Amino acid sequence: MSVEFAKVLIEPAYRKVAAAIGARILSRALREGERLPPETELARQFGVNRSTVREALRELESRGLLQRRPGSKLMSVSRPAQSAVAQGVSHALLLHDVTVQHLWEALTLLEPPLAQAAARARTAADLEELAGAARDFAAAAADTVATVQCTAEVFRSIARATHNPVLALAQEPLLQLLEPSLRIMIDKVPQARARIATAHRRLLEALEARDESAAHEWMARHIRDFRKGYEIAGIDLALRLAAE
């Protein structure tokens, strides 16, 4: 019986250039804000055409690893925006048929321990940020879009108060998926805004007191309330989430 092998894939030169530059960035040999040499110099160093370098830089720019600062012709090393990274994860979750139930379960597992960690690690500046997000929620009143955005910002403020970027990044895709369904629910449940405002106040109090247990408990209640709200609003928990 003869053995067959798959054809060897020939990688385009620009991909090799992008991989080489990307490896330097990810290893921190090239630091954030540091400028790359001009395209002509990069082409000389790599032994490729300038067009190959340009295509490699475009790929790295699309990944958020490079950016061209205003007024400069040179590319600088950058850090991918958290929202952009999370959006890719959110899109992947949508393609995996994530439901309202899946999202709620994920929030149940993530948010209470996250609030507990925030109560332990928060600073005075974190409390000011959280209080401001809670005030913005109260001021949004009947503006549904603003209300939902402010609700998500309260979650983000608590995540930032943990001073753990892994937790904040893990949270962001879930918040991007939460907002559309929350916009549907919040106007169908008369008590939703009041209950959310109460949760915000209690969470702020818990973080102020560094009461980890209370922060965990109030966040757990807050997330349970979302499920109740979906049920009152008649939103099927088996409903697949969709892009806006």
- Per residue in 120-146, pLDDT (tens digit) is 999 999 999 999 999 999 999 789 999
The percent of residues above 70 in pLDDT, for the chain, comes to 99
Residue 52: CB atoms within 10 A of its CB come to: 21
Q: How far is CA 54 from the centre of its chain?
A: 29
pTM over 0.95: no
> Within the chain, how many helices (H) and strands (E) appear?
10, 2
We find that the CATH architecture of domain 13-77 is Orthogonal Bundle (1.10)
Q: Tell me: domain 82-233, CATH 1.20.120.530, correct?
A: yes
Q: Examine domains 13-77 and 82-233 and report if their fold is the same.
A: no
Tell me if 49 sits within 8 A of 94, measured CB to CB.
no
Q: How long, in residues, is the chain?
A: 244
Domains of the chain, residue spans: 13-77, 82-233
pLDDT at position 73 over 90: no
Q: What is the mean pLDDT of residues 31-38?
A: 94
